[in-house]
Amino acid sequence: MSQRGLEALLRPKSIAVIGASVKPGRAGYIMLRNLLAGGFSGPVLPVTPKYKAVSGVLAWPTIASLPFAPDLAVICTHARRNLALLQQLGEKGCKACIILSAPASQQAELKACASRWQIRLLGPNSLGLLAPWQGLNASFSPVPIGKGRIAFISQSAAVSNTILDWAQQRNLGFSWFIALGDSLDTDVDDLLDFLARDGKTSAILLYLEHLSDARRFVSASRSASRNKPILVIKSGRSHQAQALLGTHSGLDAAWDAAIQRAGLLRVQDTHELFTAVESLSHMRPLRGERLMIVSNGAAPAALALDELYARNGKLATLSVEPLAQLAEVLPEGTGHGNPLDLKDDATPERYVACINILLNSHEMDALMIIHAPSAVAPATESAERLISAIAQHPRGKLVTLLTNWSGEFSSLAARRAFTQAGIPTWRTPEGTVTAFMHQVEYRRNQKQLRETPALPASLTQDTEQAHLLLSQALEKGITSLDTHEVHPILEAYGLATLPTWIASDSAAAVVIAEQIGYPVALKLRSPDITHKSDVQGVMLYLRNATEVQAAADAIFDRVKQNVPQASIEGLLVQSMANRAGAQELRIVVEHDPLFGPVIMLGEGGVEWQADKQATVALPPLNMTLARYQVIQAIKNGKLRSRSALNPLDIAGLSQLLVQVSNLVVDCPEIQRLDIHPLLASGHDFTLLDVTLNLAPFSGDNEARLAIRPYPQHLEEQVELKDGQACLFRPILPEDEPLLREFISQVTKEDLYYRYFSEINEFTHEDLANMTQIDYDREMAIIALRQHHGQPEIIGVTRAISDADNIDAEFSVLVRSDLKGLGMGRRLLEKMIRYTRDHGLQQLNGITMPHNRGMITLARKLGFHVDIQLDEGIVSLKLSLQDGIS
């Protein structure tokens, strides 16, 4: 199935209604009526043997009798006929089909049939789709919708109907409104790829209950969110709600992590969803986060302020000049700060005078105007005066505006006037601030996505040694390792555990304690007792041989009394770490059924539920992502802030999280890792107690991860024609400074050949997009050499695939002063090998007729070269089914 097939589903030129009916209430009647009423301009073909015509449109008795193959068919008959009808549509040549209902028992056969005939399916159990810009209403919806700039995708028909009804009341339109149903074929990721390129869509809203492919979702979301804001509401946060919905959508905190990682924004409930639709419909993109609040009363301004601070928002601070100007137009004794209280006797004139002064100021990014019902300033008149003033002010379109006209009946006309003027408006101060913070959080997510990670100072990584140790354990049938056994595996990744010895009995424990020095800790070793605390299996601060012997005997006695069937494998003996002023943390890695491995961070010393007491991140992590997880844990109260005398080393903890991430990414045998506690003291991090659960693994290591990690296997040492050594490897986010330096050493002529325009400067955002790539959809291979002891990029080749992974657009750029070393050819040969191995079918490129070097190289490597002099371009194509190996 492909994006090309989606054109027939979402932009059909002809539609057949299978089972069209003249009986009101029947699915075939409602569907045909909606199609005709929506103003669809193409042929609508009712198919039914019962009537000559339906709703005045000539009907056809069978699918085979249709005069031509329709792009889209809607099956409105009884579900038992679905399979036979889909088969007939395939034979006719239909490209897409909406199935309104189908039992679960039928779905595998429907999917197989659709795949055989290359038919795109929407549904089954779908409400249908609406595309107002095309006059298309192929849905059950009784509510027509207007044209707008938001695309809405929903996995729930009930939520879809609610939103449609609400949008009609608010006079809000949509670019697309798609109810997925069971997503048998067409899923969220397909639609995100389609909508990311759709010119009528400026924002996307998702209502999700489940995912079929986490990696495809994260990849498509990340790609689309770079161009358009995407908001998500995900139901089923609790296990009970998931059971009610019949979904198994994994840990809710893992959803949060995936949504953030993809640059999306999650809203928590339907109230926020409505607020989000409003803000996305009208609110201008933010230039910053500073909010100015103006109100005709202190109480509504205070409600807005509370909500702003609860959501970590920022108030604008006014300088002396605008404050002095405000003092001139406000009554004596009125405060001139932020929020600005105009008092309850504020007239429309006072509002306009203050708003003009504030719009002149460059000290705010967004302006929130609150109006409580007032006899002095009638709601409608005040709104109209402000709309006029904002329209006339030169900065009226530069500042993000938000209005809150409180009250129901008295403010109805005012809110309608704001909506018609394209200025967003809400009923409550809290709702207004919530909408503003949606935009702020989205902006922060996008900014965080583009931060350039720093390379850690030193990272130890001996993957081969770790794999050897894990394999040896599994060969012996060992699936659970404790601190002593896991020590060499962690050491291979630079993680320091407290030295640990094993004692078989109390006498051996005393001998070890005497050798390592007091105080010591004793810990029970038993594969049958998960929580040592159940039998008081941990004894700390033992200061002499008598205490050690007594504690060891007591542990053994308690196990025999309480869990007599448990297998005992002795005791762990450790020196007591210095805990004075130290902080106990916990890091757990678990396998989520949807998103694969997740890394959880929280406080030590407690048994915690991940959703409540830990922050969650998806591997692979770099220093920026790990730091974000730590900061988030502190902000959300999952890690307590420390005193100024002993602050948490955020950089050190971030590096440790990166090391844990590398271990988990490299070693798919790891099912669960529990570091509890992790002792943090200044710059020192000590792993006191570690449990590692293993399981044999076969298959694609990377496939289990929601985000494809750095493909280390593509690294290759290359010798250029002049004999100098060079490393060819995939680009990393940390390469941004090196890429900037590389581009600065490429001539303007070479850059023009590459980008078809004169580029004076690449911004941080440009470079972030080039270095922070999704390895699932894009690949950039750099040539890296050491020059005076420093690494430098001297060449780059890049390939960006389409959403179907069929075609990829490639480019090659070599540093202008280093041509003639064969580097361009070697880079492109490597990219050809990679794209072929990745399953792509064709490489495409464009250059200019003057770029003789690229044209010659392309010919040598088997590209078809098409020189289009009238267009001033040269098209290069290579079939990857054959060519160089």
What share of residues in the chain are helix, strand, coil (percent, to 5)? Answer: 40, 25, 35
Residue 885's pLDDT is 41
Give a yes or no: residue 584 inside a domain.
no
Is residue 212 domain-shared with residue 288, that is, in the same domain? no
Residues of the chain with pLDDT under 70: 1-4, 236-249, 455, 457-458, 579-581, 606, 610-611, 641-645, 882-885
Q: Is 138 helix (H, G, I), strand (E, B) or coil?
A: strand
Domain presence at residue 595? no
Phi, psi dihedrals of residue 873, rounded to the nearest 5°: -135, 165
Identify the pLDDT of residue 248: 57
pLDDT of residue 249: 60
* Residue where one domain finishes, among candidates 82, 99, 125: 125
What is the enclosing helix (H) or strand (E) of 813? strand 807-814
Q: What is the CATH classification number for the domain harbouring 307?
A: 3.40.50.261
Looking at residue 846, what is its pLDDT?
93
49: how many CB neighbours lie within 10 A of its CB? Answer: 9
Model pLDDT, residue 6: 92
> In terms of domains, do 2 and 14 share one?
yes
Residue 59 in contact with residue 1, Cβ under 8 Å? no
- Whether 381 is covered by a domain: the verdict is yes
Question: Is there a domain that residue 152 lies in?
Answer: yes
Which strands form 15-18's sheet, in the order they lie side by side? 44-47, 15-18, 72-75, 96-99, 120-122
Which pLDDT score, from 0 to 100, does residue 864 have? 95
Q: Which residue has the tokens 């989520």?
A: 592
- Claim to verify: residue 238 and residue 369 sit in the same structural domain: no
pLDDT score for 611: 66
pLDDT digits (tens, 9 = 90+) for 789-832: 999 999 999 999 988 889 999 999 999 999 999 999 999 999 99
pLDDT for res 647? 82
Surface-to-core class of residue 60, CB atoms within 10 Å of its CB (0-12 exposed, 13-18 middle, 19+ buried): middle
Task: Reply yes or no: is the peptide bond before residue 339 cis, omega within 30 of 0.
Answer: yes
Based on the fold, state whether residues 273 and 390 are members of the same structural domain: no
Q: Could you tell me if residue 302 is inside a domain?
A: yes
Instruction: Quote the number of domains for the chain.
Output: 4
| Residue 115, φ and ψ in degrees, nearest 5 | -65, -40
* CATH code, domain with 66: 3.40.50.720
> Pick from 110, 125, 140: which residue ends a domain?
125
Q: Are residues 132 and 113 in the same domain?
A: no
pTM: 0.86
**Which residue, of 394, 419, 449, is where some domain finishes?**
449
Q: Is 619 exposed, middle or buried, given 0-12, 13-18 or 19+ CB atoms closer than 10 A? A: buried
Residue 375 lies in a domain: yes
Side chain identity at residue 445, one-letter code = N
278 plus 288 within the same structural domain = no
| Same-domain pairing of 162 and 235 | yes
Q: Are residues 66 and 143 in the same domain?
A: no
388 and 288 fall within a common domain:
yes
Alpha helices in 262-360 (DSSP H): 270-282, 298-310, 320-329, 348-360
Same domain? 275 vs 301: no
The residue segments making up the domain with residue 334 are: 284-449
The pLDDT, as a whole number, for residue 433 is: 95
Residue 415 inside a domain? The answer is yes
Within-domain flag for 548: no
Q: What is the CATH number of the domain that holds 754?
A: 3.40.630.30
Domain co-membership, 215 together with 290: no
262 and 319, same structural domain? no
**pLDDT tens-digit map of 47-102:** 999 999 999 999 999 999 999 999 999 999 999 999 999 999 999 999 999 999 99
DSSP single-letter state for residue 2: -
